[in-house]
């Protein structure tokens, strides 16, 4: 059977990856589909085992749905304005109904094992029957559990773990160890339920006043946070939603930002490129410092920098260097990769991986991204002596090792190579270290850093430049292009209007860009050690917008940015990749894409505000007709012939 036709656990096919909204409480998050099913939720942290994972296996994964049983004519989903409270609205033959989902945010910086999800069903018009079915599966469905009706709700028990569902006192236990409940609401009526992952007492009733209070408190939290934004540009709603997505993906107790809240969602349907993204990449989170600071969220940037400073102080990378490329949200580095062989995978895409074997790779670019982030922090709050000494030891290692091959920014599994982007970011590390030392009068081998910086620059300009192609390539002695190089002018290695860069930008546009969508590289021309192919990378599309902006090609940049907005889902969230048919794939939502969106939007806004560009030239580049390209009209014949 074609995996795309397999039934979802609550009827129908697997939902599209993009058919989800995100809720969270800054320690974990859940995905809610447009049929009001929670089909992904891990607790108590982002990187904890799942309780609901029917997105990866319709039978064994577990889910929690509240939805009308009357025939649904259509459903729509949106965020309650200015918040992360999600509303799924159903138009049925019996009336109009809503399911409201959110996770209360209380003392987010305090580590807690108890996650709460509040779900409220409401009848807006008519008289609507509902069905609730909660089918948890502990530890990715690997642990047996028992369910029981207790007081005003249900209790779910697995070895060493309890979970309660409050408000379902008249429900029934299902054969799979879940709870089922049917109820009917008239117009104006509502019923609330609260799921607790570590309850302190027996299940209880949930009053309407309690549900309203929790909702109002949660909306107030998010609106207060949004008020801190300083962005007032052309894409305010888009940028605000991206900033909120980043906040939702932040583990508040440490300030760590996860790459995505999901694991094993495929980069190609039926393919093996299925990775676990519930961790903090040094690279991704370092970019968050710039993106969040651009729109006024300096506290979030500082929180991450504290987390990064702790990793610099620990220096446990070993054979892969002083730093790991990724960590768990608490800063630990045990990310052993394993397969969930009992899960079929999203639409039959296997293997289903948890953990991440790339954690021990050597990726030289992370040193540039980390030092660049620390340099930005040093401008705001100068680094102390102990932190500087730790940074010196990292730079000593990089000075000796920048020229070795690595697995690269895209975490290839086909062996180490001398990737250009790794050299670019090693140059950044040396450049920023020199500036930090000179600006503050700090001790350090500045002469040695300068020699390394200049040697890296010379290598890039000679061995990584292809004179025939007139472009900087993925690595020396190849004609393969790489979208990571779009950051070369952004980090200051080349001037954005340097002829070498402009010809590189044109080459990338010809070979890697299709309708604003950008491929990372061509796997067939540069094998990455994995079978199958992948879609375009949403992150790279915003890198492309940023590079077009820096080059002064503003009409192209704006057109590309607006086209990218059509690939966001119904609530403004982006997946990791887009397949050839425009279908979002990969882990969702991806933090790095939203970071790049904020950087591109703010840069483009500033450029447009000060633009003096030529419209006709820009339209010509876009292949659009201009006055000079349209032939003059044929004169009409005279009346006398």
pLDDT of residue 234: 96
Higher per-residue pLDDT: 124 or 620: 124
SS (H, E, C) 17-49: CCCEEEEECCCCEEEEECCCEEEEEECCCCCCC
- CATH of region 3-226, choose from 1.10.3470, 2.70.98, 3.40.50, 2.60.120: 2.70.98
Judged against a pLDDT cut of 70, whether residue 625 lies above it is answered with no
Lowest mean pLDDT among 21-30, 297-306, 335-344, 492-501: 297-306
Total number of residues shown for the chain = 641
Helices (H), 227-359: 236-248, 282-294, 298-314
Convert 492-526 to b/e letters by CB count within 10 Å (16 or more is b): ebbebeeebbbebbebbbebbbeebbbbbbebeeb
Mean pLDDT of 44-57: 98
Where does the pLDDT of residue 367 fall: very low under 50, low under 70, confident under 90, or very high at 90 and above? very high
Residue whose pair of structure tokens reads 């047996």 in the numeric block: 144
12, pLDDT greater than 70: no
pLDDT at 285 over 90: no
Mean pLDDT of 330-341: 94
Count of alpha carbons within 13 angstroms of residue 220, beta-carbon side: 7
Asked if the model's pLDDT at residue 328 lies above 70, the reply is yes
Closest CA to 505 of 515, 497, 516: 497
pLDDT for 98 beyond 70: yes
Q: How many angstroms separate the CA atoms of 199 and 170, rounded?
A: 19
User: With 50 as the cut, is the pLDDT of residue 516 above it?
Assistant: yes
pLDDT band of residue 466 (cuts 50, 70, 90) is very high
Give the model's confidence band at 475: pLDDT under 50 very low, under 70 low, under 90 confident, else very high.
very high
pLDDT given at position 170:
87
Residue 637 confidence (pLDDT) above 50: no
Domain boundaries, the chain: 3-226, 236-621
Higher pLDDT, 224 or 151: 224
Band of residue 470 on the pLDDT scale cut at 50, 70, 90:
very high
- Give residue-wise pLDDT tens across range 420-459: 999 999 999 999 999 999 999 999 999 999 999 999 999 9
Q: How far is CA 456 from the centre of its chain?
A: 31
| Chain centroid offset of residue 484 CA | 17
- pLDDT of 611 reads 84
514: its two tokens: 């299709």
Q: The tokens of 12 are what?
A: 């129908």
| pLDDT per residue as tens digits for the range 170-208 | 899 999 999 999 999 999 999 999 999 999 999 999 999
3-state secondary structure of 363: coil
Decide if pLDDT at 100 tops 90.
yes
Over 50: is that where the pLDDT of 5 sits?
Answer: no
User: How confident is the model at residue 621, as a pLDDT?
Assistant: 52
Average pLDDT over residues 477-492: 96
Collapsing DSSP to helix, strand or coil, 412 comes out as coil
Q: Give the whole-angstrom CA distance, residue 341 versus residue 550.
A: 47
Predicted model pTM: 0.92
pLDDT digits (tens, 9 = 90+) for 238-282: 999 999 999 999 999 999 999 999 999 999 999 899 999 999 999
Evaluate whether the domain defined by 236-621 bears CATH number 3.10.20.810.
Answer: no
pLDDT grade, residue 114 (50/70/90)?
very high
619: pLDDT strictly greater than 80? no
Say which residue the tokens 């201009």 belong to. Answer: 626
Tell me what the pLDDT averaged over the chain comes to: 91
């Amino acid at each position: 059977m074609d995996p795309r036709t397999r039934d979802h656990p609550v009827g129908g096919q697997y939902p599209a990856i993009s058919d989800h909204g995100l809720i969270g409480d800054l320690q974990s998050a859940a995905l809610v589909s447009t049929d009001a099913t929670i089909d992904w939720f891990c607790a108590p942290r982002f990187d904890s085992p799942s309780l609901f994972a029917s997105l990866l296996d319709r039978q064994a994964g577990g889910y929690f749905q509240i939805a009308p049983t009357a025939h649904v004519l259509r459903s729509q989903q949106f965020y309650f304005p200015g918040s992360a409270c999600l509303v799924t609205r159903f138009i049925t033959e019996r009336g109009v109904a809503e399911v409201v989902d959110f996770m209360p945010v209380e003392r987010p910086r305090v580590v807690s094992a108890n996650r709460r999800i509040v779900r409220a069903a409401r009848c807006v018009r008519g008289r609507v029957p509902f069905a609730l079915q909660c089918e948890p599966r502990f530890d990715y469905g690997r642990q047996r559990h028992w369910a029981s009706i207790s007081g005003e709700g249900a209790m779910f028990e697995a070895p060493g773990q309890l979970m309660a569902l409050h408000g379902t006192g008249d429900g029934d236990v299902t054969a799979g160890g879940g709870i089922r409940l049917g109820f009917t609401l008239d117009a104006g009526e509502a019923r609330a339920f609260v799921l607790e992952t570590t309850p302190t007492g027996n299940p209880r009733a949930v009053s309407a006043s309690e549900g309203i209070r929790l909702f109002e408190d949660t909306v107030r939290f998010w609106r207060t946070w949004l008020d801190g934004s300083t962005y007032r540009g052309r894409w305010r709603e888009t940028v605000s939603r991206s900033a909120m997505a980043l906040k939702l993906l932040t583990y508040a107790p440490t300030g760590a930002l996860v790459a995505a809240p999901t694991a094993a969602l495929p980069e190609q349907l039926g393919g093996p490129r299925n990775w676990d993204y519930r961790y903090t990449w040094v690279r991704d989170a370092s970019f968050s410092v710039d993106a969040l600071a651009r729109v006024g969220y300096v506290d979030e940037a500082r929180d991450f920098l504290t987390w990064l400073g702790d990793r610099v102080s620990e220096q446990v990378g070993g054979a892969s260097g002083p730093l790991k490329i990724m960590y768990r949200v608490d800063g630990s580095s045990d990310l052993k990769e394993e397969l969930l062989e009992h899960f079929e995978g999203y639409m039959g895409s296997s293997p289903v991986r948890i953990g991440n074997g790339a954690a021990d790779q050597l990726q030289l670019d992370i040193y540039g991204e980390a030092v660049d982030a620390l340099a930005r922090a040093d401008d705001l709050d100068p680094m102390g002596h102990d932190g500087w000494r730790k940074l010196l030891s990292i730079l000593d290692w990089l000075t000796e090792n920048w020229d070795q091959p690595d697995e690269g920014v895209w975490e290839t599994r086909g062996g180490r190579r001398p990737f250009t982007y790794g050299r670019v970011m090693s140059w950044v590390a040396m450049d920023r270290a020199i500036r930090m030392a000179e600006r503050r009068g700090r001790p350090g081998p500045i002469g040695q850093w300068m020699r390394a910086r200049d040697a890296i620059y010379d290598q890039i300009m000679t061995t990584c430049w292809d004179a025939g192609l007139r472009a900087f390539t993925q690595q020396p002695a190849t004609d393969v292009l790489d979208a990571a190089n779009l950051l070369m002018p952004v980090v200051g290695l080349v001037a954005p209007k340097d002829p070498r860069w402009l010809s590189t930008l044109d080459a990338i546009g010809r070979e890697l860009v299709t309708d604003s969508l950008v491929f990372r590289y061509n796997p067939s021309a540069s094998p990455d050690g994995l079978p199958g192919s992948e879609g375009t990378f949403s992150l790279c599309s915003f890198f492309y917008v940023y590079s077009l902006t820096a080059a002064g090609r503003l009409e192209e940049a704006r057109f590309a940015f607006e086209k990218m907005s059509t690939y966001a889902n119904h609530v403004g969230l982006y997946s990791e990749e887009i397949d050839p048919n425009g279908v979002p794939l990969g882990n969702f939502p991806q933090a790095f894409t939203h970071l790049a969106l904020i950087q591109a939007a703010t840069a483009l806004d500033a450029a447009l505000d000060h633009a003096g560009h030529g419209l006709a030239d820009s339209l010509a580049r876009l292949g659009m007709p201009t006055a000079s390209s349209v032939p003059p009209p044929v004169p009409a014949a005279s009346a006398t012939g």
